[in-house]
Homo-oligomer: A and B are copies of this chain.
Amino acid sequence: MRRDEISKVILPESEIPKQWYNVIADMPNKPAPYHNPQTLKLIEPDDMKAIFPDEIIRQEMTAERYIDIPDEVREMYRQFRPSPLYRARGLEKQLGTTARIYYKYEGTNATGSHKLNTAIPQAYYNKIAGIKRLSTETGAGQWGSAISLASSQFGLECSVYMVNVSYQQKPYRRSFMKTFGASVVASPSNLTNCGRSMLERDPECSGSLGIAISEAVEDAATHEDTNYALGSVLNHVCLHQTIIGIEAKKQMEILDEYPDVVFACCGGGSNFSGITFPFLQDKFKGQKLRAVAVEPTACPTLTKGIFAYDYGDTVKVAPITKMYTLGHDYIPAGIHAGGLRYHGDSAIVSQLYNDKLIEAKAYGQKAVFEAAITFARTEGIVPAPESAHAIRAAIDEAVLAREAGEEKVILFCLSGHGYFDFAAYENYFSGKLDDVEYSPDSNTSLNNLPPIE
């Protein structure tokens, strides 16, 4: 195919990958194992049986290089995969850059983001394990939407604990999940001990992701037929997302291109993992490549956090992980990229960053929205605020290339669209968005790390 004649590369269904890539197999230093938040001891597979099916636990702990994608999962992937890879011709022209910019677009599925890539296998493995119902938490709503859809496709019930403030502010996300048959409750709810105790203290409690996780885990742990599902951070979630990068590599190959640099936004890390890990596999073998995680200055986990063992959630029910963290008590300022507000990061991504195999960069939200609007007007897609972090970085890189007169090849992951984020865009237009800078000096959360060396 002549590179300059195409605007997008779409692979046939037969090219949907048959295996996910497990980066752990090739990492020079493996991610540290999880610890039990109650006992502080190393977590054993059995510790997770109350909330995860066996195959998910196996995938969480294995160092096997390739994991087969079940036929039933590939069948569901066919509805929206392979996803398109675009050449950003409009954006390039606008920037007058000598770089060639490509983006892999994960917003073409019904839930509008990459989250469905892992929601489908998670629902599948629970289904074949005989589970009847999934419980999960959701903040912004992307993950809740994805797991609701996946559950409906496999005939599972789905209970979503939605952070109360989002439940009130985002009625459409709520309706979206209901359309797929999920039951959605505002968290804290009176369905769990944790929720009831929070409501006793404060009947108007606005909730938090920490509380919602706690309720969802309690629900799963106390119901025989129910398991828990998580949308980022964990190894198996990052694994499932590698389908993004595997496809992107094939698409770039068709164009006879290889990226000099790959950008992806990074919250818990699953979207970043998805696009970059299959390219990092080449880097481990000597390929020249930069992989850059882009995060908000309001929650700069990699760029300003410390590499240490910390609890995965505020109420200490999730595993203790060695990761870059701002402290499990840290509450980021209310920025609009809700998907990038996690206090920590994937153990794998953190280890890679510590080993200087990947880079990180942080932006304030004004610069991010400015990039989002440039992108929308030149490429015709309204990006999710999360994804716009990667756009900002790609634009800056393309401008540098122009200034240096270099023919750089830039790839980024457009992890989702912004159809559900117009309240944030409206705030930007009306000048209500401020940049928030993290101040390590005033962050006392780092004083409460668990006592593990």
**Contacts from A to B (Cβ < 8 Å):** 6-8, 10, 12-13, 75, 78-80, 86, 90, 108-110, 112, 149, 152-153, 171-172, 174-176, 178-181, 373, 376-382, 417, 419-420, 422-423, 425-426, 429
Alpha-carbon distance A174/B423, docked complex (angstroms): 10
Q: Which of A13, A153, A417, A422 is most buried by chain B, counting CB atoms within 10 A of its CB?
A: A422
Task: Name the one of B86, B174, B179, B426 contacting A376, with C-beta atoms under 8 angstroms.
Answer: B179
Alpha-carbon distance A180/B380, docked complex (angstroms): 8
Q: Which of A379, A380, A422 is most buried by chain B, counting CB atoms within 10 A of its CB?
A: A380
Check if A380 sits within 8 Å of B426, measured CB to CB: no
Q: Would you give 24 A-B contacts (Cβ < 8 Å), ordered by A? A: A6-B13, A7-B75, A7-B78, A7-B79, A10-B12, A79-B86, A79-B380, A109-B380, A110-B381, A110-B382, A110-B417, A149-B380, A153-B378, A171-B422, A171-B426, A172-B422, A175-B429, A179-B373, A179-B376, A179-B422, A179-B425, A180-B377, A419-B419, A419-B420
Alpha-carbon distance A89/B82, docked complex (angstroms): 18
Alpha-carbon distance A181/B425, docked complex (angstroms): 12
**A267 CB to nearest B CB, Å:** 22
Which residues from B are CB-within-8-Å of A152? 377
**A83 CB to nearest B CB, Å:** 11
Alpha-carbon distance A204/B341, docked complex (angstroms): 42
Which residues from B are CB-within-8-Å of A381? 110
Which residues from B are CB-within-8-Å of A380? 79-80, 109-110, 149, 153
Alpha-carbon distance A171/B86, docked complex (angstroms): 30
Query: Given A8-B13, A79-B7, do A112 and B178 touch, yes or no (CB 8 Å)?
Result: no
Given known contacts A79-B86, A79-B380, A181-B377, what 6 new A-B pairs fall within 8 Å (CB)?
Answer: A7-B13, A110-B380, A171-B426, A172-B422, A175-B425, A179-B376
Which residues from B are CB-within-8-Å of A419? 112, 419-420
Alpha-carbon distance A80/B90, docked complex (angstroms): 14
Alpha-carbon distance A325/B283, docked complex (angstroms): 66
| Chain B: CB-nearest residue to A14 | B5
Check if A178 sits within 8 Å of B429, measured CB to CB: yes
Alpha-carbon distance A8/B8, docked complex (angstroms): 17
| Chain B: CB-nearest residue to A423 | B172
Alpha-carbon distance A10/B8, docked complex (angstroms): 12
Query: Given A90-B153, A422-B175, A422-B176, do A8 and B79 touch, yes or no (CB 8 Å)?
Result: yes
Q: Which of A78, A175, A420 is most buried by chain B, counting CB atoms within 10 A of its CB?
A: A175
Which residues from B are CB-within-8-Å of A175? 422-423, 425-426, 429
| Chain B: CB-nearest residue to A172 | B422
Which residues from B are CB-within-8-Å of A79? 7-8, 86, 379-380
Which residues from B are CB-within-8-Å of A176? 382, 422
Which residues from B are CB-within-8-Å of A379? 79
Which residues from B are CB-within-8-Å of A181? 377
Which residues from B are CB-within-8-Å of A108? 108
Alpha-carbon distance A112/B7, docked complex (angstroms): 19
| Chain B: CB-nearest residue to A90 | B153
